[in-house]
Structure 1
Amino acid sequence: MTAFRVGVMFDRSWDPAGLPAFAREAEALGADDLWVVEDLGWNGGISAAAVALAATGRMRVGLGIAPAPLRSPALLAMEVATLARVFPGRLVAGIGHGVREWMRQAGVAPRSPLSLLEEALTAVRGLLRGERVTMDGRELRIDGVELVHPPAEDAVPPVIAGVVSPKSLELAGRAAQGTLVAEGHGPEDLRAVRAAAERGGAGVDHTITVFTFLGVGDAAAPALRDAVAGHAQWLGRDESATFAAGGTAAAAVAALHALGEAGAQTVVLRICGPEPLVQLRAVMRALGRGEDVRHGRLHDSTAAPSPVGRRSAG
């Protein structure tokens, strides 16, 4: 079977006060990644990533995603570089369009979302490599900005694009080091994502990370159904065509393996329903991954409650 990283999302609906404990428990269960989100009005992505990194010692932390219209690329690169200096090799920076409605609410909607995202990806990547960046683009103007403390040369965080539409997927292949795929997309979608990235110029080192809803056990089933229904509406597809991993732990793991076989290097679980850490433990055991629960580090209750609302990826 194809190997893939297993990540877990700290859902936007959970109280951020519970993030440190959740991150430690997820790490003890053997999760490879913890992914934080930045949606308007919920949590700050960089601050959440810093909290998760500081609370753990091994896990990689992913930012999924920073909306390009909402963040200056210079400031975003400064923030990412600071984390990369303190926690080398443990960060992935996701950048996307942001939800158009939310960007309008914040007063930052660009004239050309495609141009802005490509220019932002290019600028942030250059700054993180320690380059002096000047850009006179359609959306961005940058005049000789250079980081004083860029990441170490061997620890520059990968910058990936969280996108959905065909033109944006091609852009990811052209301007980013990987593509972050929203919940609800299954194996056939991932093959199409890879093909679009390759049309944009992506090579074999271009990574694919996919978020997927997870609900293990009968108690999680109603929340999983609600999450899938809401996301199907946003994707504009039938619920039956909206991918999720549910049922028994074995059935969920089979779904995760299908994503890995379709080309996902990282599968990130967005857990629906009660006891998210208990569900994560069941999945990690079914995957045969290591865990620390026998030493008493895992508790059946968590500060992070389980309601999952509709989330629109960038």
Structure 2
Amino acid sequence: MTNVRIGVMYDRDWAPEGLPGFARDVEALGVDDLWVVEDLGWNGGISAASLALGATERLRVGIGIMPAPLRSPALLAMELATLARVFPGRLVAGIGHGVPEWMASVGVAARSPLALLEETISSVRALLRGERVELEGREVRLADIQLVHPPAEPPPVVAGVVRPRSLELSGRVADGTLIAEGHGPHDVESARALVDKGGASADHALTVLAFCSVGDDAEQVARALRPCVEGHGAWLGRSPEQVFTVSGTAEEAAQRVRELEVAGAGTVVLRMVGPEPVRQLGKVLKALGRQARN
């Protein structure tokens, strides 16, 4: 039995109308988290989180990630506060730099991405705590802003980042860090060292995303994963063989989850690849000793 939280991603390529049913299905399986995606041209993170929260009763829903350049910190705090008040204790807000090319394509590329992310996360967290914010930063300007309806339980705000300076920033200003797909146990250990260097608190949690494909036919699993590991490997600057996945038989996949846990992951979020994702997920959960909830 593993103590790590287990989550599942609703993939950006899946139709939005399927999200409520998927959320109910995975909640019944016994997962802890459902993570939704905000990528340019795909889905909106706040609207997707609203659908998932409204369709379920206990799932924690994470947004991974909302690009700081696309959103005013004041508006972002207002939207998150609304969800956190209606669904207390069930929301995690992920904020990141955004893909530079995408941000440039809509005219919001930051002059200083590090400053923008730090100022956004800091001001959003302060607003969610009910504080009055006055900020004249390098990228963010807020003049005497305060939420009328802050949540009694502010949701964790985590940074979805990859590079060393951004990981240190996450440790300095965020409640946790979201680590992208393809990163294995050694990467998780390195990320922990960097967020700690940045001054992370003892409860600063690492959430690790991982491609997951499960089956008894190793060649079939490899074929299903190939587009993911090739594309993500190119983004990470790694060969496909160096892209970490949670894959193989159910027992092998469960072992990969345990390896991430030992390395320091507090939550492992599985991005299912291949047919029948809910059935695949169920096999992994069973191998981890998780029981379905009726």
Per-residue deviation, residues 101-120 of structure 1 (Å, max 9, x unmatched):
00001110010000000000
Matches within 5 A, 1:136-151: 136-151=136-151
Find the residue that maps to 1:43 and give its secondary structure.
Answer: coil
What residue number does 1:100 align with?
100
- Per-residue deviation, 1:229: 1.3
SS in 2 for 1:228: helix
- Out of 200, 203, 210, the position equivalent to 2:201 is 203
The equivalent residue for 2:168 is 170
Distance 2:45 2:250 in 1: 30
Output the TM-score relative to the length of structure 2.
0.97
- Partner residue, 2:134: 134
Task: Provide the C-alpha distance between the structure 2 equivalents of 1:221 and 1:26, rounded to a whole number of angstroms.
Answer: 24
Q: Is the 8 A contact 2:70 2:108 kept in 1?
A: yes
Mind listing any 5+ residue stretches in structure 2 that lack a counterpart? none
**Change beyond 3 A, Cα 1:11–1:71:** same
Query: Once the two structures are superposed, what CA deviation does each residue of 1:93-134 show, in whole Å capped at 9, x if it has no partner?
Result: 000000000000111001000000000000000000000011
Residues 222, 273 of structure 1: 8 Å contact kept = no
The aligned counterpart of 2:223 is: 222
Distance 1:189 1:3 in 2: 20
SS of the residue aligned with 2:206?
strand
Structure 1, 201-210 or 49-58: larger mean CA deviation: 201-210
What's the CA shift string for 1:31-88, capped at 9, x where partnerless?
A: 0000001000000000000000000001100000000000001000000000000000
1:1-314 aligned at under 5 Å gives the runs 3-152=3-152, 155-217=153-215, 218=217, 219-292=220-293
In structure 1, distance between residues paired with 2:78 and 2:240: 41
Instruction: Figure out how many residues of one structure are paired with residues of the other and give that number.
Output: 291
**Aligned partner letter, 2:15:** D
- How far did 1:179 drift? 0.5
- Which structure has more relative contact order (CA 8 Å, sep 6+)? It is 1
Distance in 2 between residues matched to 1:47 and 1:12, nearest whole Å:
13
What's the secondary structure of 1:273's corresponding residue?
coil
* Contact 2:82 2:151 survives alignment (8 Å): yes
**How far 1:6 moved relative to its partner?**
0.1
Report if aligned partners of 2:63, 2:94 keep a CA contact under 8 Å in 1: yes
Q: Which moved more, 1:220-229 or 1:6-15?
A: 220-229
- SS in structure 1 of the partner of residue 135 of structure 2: strand
Aligned-partner residue type, residue 246 of structure 2? A
After the TM superposition, which parts of structure 1 deviate over 4 Å for at least 4 consecutive aligned residues?
Answer: none
Shift of 1:221: 3.4
Is the 1:69–1:108 Cα contact (8 Å) retained in structure 2? yes
SS in 2 for 1:233: helix
Q: TM-score normalized by structure 1?
A: 0.91
Partners of 1:188 and 1:55 in 2: CA distance: 37
Q: Tell me the amino acid that sits aligned with residue 206 of structure 2.
A: I
**What SS is found at the alignment partner of 1:24?**
helix
Identity of aligned residues (%): 64
2:2·2:288 contact (CA, 8 Å) conserved in 1?
Answer: no
In 1, Cα distance between equivalents of 2:240 and 2:41: 27
Contact 1:125 1:159 in 2 (8 A): yes
Q: Give the 3-state SS of the residue equivalent to 2:50 in structure 1.
A: helix
Tell me if structure 2 keeps the 8 A contact 1:220–1:274.
no
Gaps of 5+ in 1: 296-314
In 1, Cα distance between the equivalents of 2:236 and 2:278?
Answer: 28
How far apart are the structure 2 equivalents of 1:143 and 1:262? Answer: 42
Please give the secondary structure, in 2, of the residue aligned with 1:95: strand
* Amino acid across the alignment from 2:59: M
Give the equivalent residue in structure 2 for 1:302. none
Could you tell me how far apart the structure 2 residues matched to 1:221 and 1:25 are? 26
